[in-house]
Amino acid sequence: MNVDAQISEYYDRLLKRNAGEPEFHQAVSEVLDSLKIVLEKDPHYADYSLVERLCEPERQLIFRVPWTDDKGEVNVNRGFRVQFNSALGPYKGGLRFHPSVNLGIIKFLGFEQIFKNSLTGLPIGGGKGGSDFDPKGRTDAEVMRFCQSFMTELHRHIGEYRDVPAGDIGVGGREIGYLFGQYRRLANQHESGVLTGKGLSWGGSLVRTEATGYGLVYLTEEMMNTHEESFDGAKVIVSGSGNVAIYAAEKAQQLGATVVAMSDSAGYISTPNGVDVELVKQIKEVGRGRISEYVDQAEGTYHEGGNIWEVKADVALPCATQNELNGDHAKQLAENGVRYVAEGANMPSTPEAVHYFQENGIHFAPGKAANAGGVATSALEMQQNATRDSWSFEYTDQRLHQIMSNIFKNVDRTAREYNREGDYVAGANIAGFKKVADAMLAQGVI
Ligand code: NDP
């Protein structure tokens, strides 16, 4: 059977066995597509059902999370942890608290995480978890009780050498604090290496908060430099206004760009003269407010329910959530002059959008490579925990910068090696895959 037929047969089987999980299908389909050229060149990567094993999580946990709200009523949420692949190291990946969370979403994120973590060059496997709990509008006490209940089950499945969760949408410093507190109590030990994204005084790392956004900009700058361009003087759209978006905007402006728009799920602000990042931090991080509040305090226009991709710019950095940028948006961006798109979020561009970018000469960096700075710095936090050390901001930032630069070079080189120059999707998927695949082949059928 030729490679095309082999992959389609396998993909059809995966669809049947994982019905109702469209995001997982989308993530797998993109990777399998890139792998065709690898299997043609190196057929041994199909040995021992390697690809099938790679697409099947090592373990999937689903559990009940009961908790009591401030009115005394009992709420029941569902918790997930998908331990996808530990060939390169302990499972590593964030926890997402958002009402849209289901098994398919956690599986797509866990699957992507395998390749991303491999690309960082650090010894970490892939996993992801979360819950359909919505922290929005909940008091600190409610969030704490939810986190304690969630960790009461999760704690038996994680550990410094087993599985090391971190934050993601809806899980920031506050949630990691409550989760860590409950873990410490149940495990009866201060095992700082069990979670990353911790507070600085109890095992956290400098730069972890900034890492995903800064790393995204470092990698995008590398990509722009290969075309003799840079952020200096560029107009940039950053979707979202959470952790990734805020620090992407901050670093882009530090490098001389003007961030002309940011958003949340209700609408976007346009800021033609640049965004006041400190004010966004104040509104979102301190006040847990909405991006609409920005225009009450600074220059800008709020567009309720608006489409952020209609703003004119040179660079677009989608940093909110999956499938937020579709084929029509991609076309609109191109018509408005955007030449670079790099994904801060996981899979924010639909397959139609990615196809459009690639067919129309827009340089596109996929999330697996572009947003790997967060997990890379988490791995640096693990290194500091293991050696009971804490590094300076400058040193950690330098390490992050170096890692992002290496990722870009690796992805670029791999794309050329397979005659796909400039196709960073293929470059990231192939480079990420080969390292994990080699480890899996060496470790036998497990
Ligand atoms: P946050 O919770 O801090 O922020 C999420 C932002 O995205 C908010 O502005 C939120 O708006 C917006 N958003 C969320 N869901 C939707 C939706 N359905 N439609 C429109 N906007 C939405 O999350 P992060 O910044 O941590 O994560 C953002 C993305 O980056 C995710 O895809 C995540 O997986 C990815 N990522 C995060 C990493 C990290 O280190 N944090 C590492 C690598 C990737 P609102 O407040 O209105 O919901």
The CA angle 413-418-421, to the nearest 5 degrees, is 60
Task: Identify the DSSP state of 201.
Answer: G
Task: From the CA of 241, give the closest atom in ligand 1.
Answer: 9
Distance CA 189, CA 232 (A): 48
Binding site for substrate: what residues are annotated?
A: 92, 113, 116, 167, 378
* Ligand 1 site, residue 158, Cβ cutoff 6 A: no
Residue 128 annotated in active site: yes
Are 194 and 183 in contact, with CB atoms under 8 Å apart? yes
141 to 168, 180, 218, 383: CA distances (angstroms):
20, 15, 38, 32
Task: From the CA of 263, give the closest atom in ligand 1.
Answer: 9
Q: What is the pLDDT of residues 164-220, one digit of tens each?
A: 999 999 999 999 999 999 999 999 999 999 999 999 999 999 999 999 999 999 999
**Which regions of the chain are under pLDDT 50?**
none
Residue 361: other Cβ atoms inside 10 A: 10
Q: Which pLDDT does position 376 carry in this prediction? A: 98
Q: Which pLDDT does position 399 carry in this prediction? A: 98
Distance CA 319, CA 60 (A): 27
User: Best mutation site among 117, 169, 247, 303 for ligand 1, i.e. most ligand atoms within 8 A of its Cβ?
Assistant: 169
* Ligand 1 site, residue 149, Cβ cutoff 6 A: no
Spacing, Cα 281 to ligand 1 middle (Å): 14
Beta pairing class for 315-318 and 340-342 = parallel
Give every CB contact of residue 22 below 8 A, 6+ residues apart in sequence.
104
User: Best mutation site among 217, 321, 378 for ligand 1, i.e. most ligand atoms within 8 A of its Cβ?
Assistant: 321
Token duo for residue 368: 């697996």
Task: Identify the DSSP state of 389.
Answer: -
Q: Which pLDDT does position 114 carry in this prediction? A: 98
Q: Which pLDDT does position 428 carry in this prediction? A: 98
User: Could you give the strand order of the β-sheet that contains 258-264, starting from the edge strand earlier in sequence?
Assistant: 301-304, 267-270, 258-264, 235-239, 315-318, 340-342, 363-365
* Ligand 1 site, residue 175, Cβ cutoff 6 A: no
Binding site: what residues are annotated?
A: 92, 113, 116, 167, 212, 243, 378
Beta pairing class for 163-166 and 235-239 = unpaired
* Ligand 1 site, residue 378, Cβ cutoff 6 A: no
Q: Which pLDDT does position 1 carry in this prediction? A: 76
DSSP bridge partners of 281:
none
Token duo for residue 271: 């800021």
Beta pairing class for 59-68 and 74-85 = antiparallel
* 36-41 CB contacts, 8 Å cutoff, 24+ apart: 36/3, 36/4, 36/7, 37/418, 37/420, 37/426, 37/430, 38/418, 38/430, 38/433, 38/434, 39/3, 39/6, 39/7, 40/3, 41/418
Which domains does the chain show, CATH number per domain? Answer: 3-54 (1.10.285.10), 59-190 (3.40.50.10860), 211-370 (3.40.50.720)
Token duo for residue 350: 């639909």
Q: pTM for the complete prediction? A: 0.97
Distance CA 320, CA 140 (A): 23
DSSP bridge partners of 78:
64
Question: Dihedral through CA 217, CA 339, CA 257, CA 292, nearest 10?
Answer: -90
CA atoms within a 13 Å half-sphere pointing along the CA-CB vector of 237: 31
Task: Identify the DSSP state of 366.
Answer: -
Spacing, Cα 414 to ligand 1 middle (Å): 29
Token duo for residue 323: 């499938």
Distance CA 156, CA 151 (A): 9
Task: From the CA of 166, give the closest atom in ligand 1.
Answer: 40
Are 38 and 45 in contact, with CB atoms under 8 Å apart? yes
Distance CA 65, CA 84 (A): 22
Residue 112 amino acid letter = E
**Length of the chain in residues, anyone?**
446
Task: From the CA of 266, give the closest atom in ligand 1.
Answer: 47
DSSP bridge partners of 269:
262, 302
* Ligand 1 site, residue 431, Cβ cutoff 6 A: no
Q: Which pLDDT does position 109 carry in this prediction? A: 98
* Ligand 1 site, residue 345, Cβ cutoff 6 A: yes
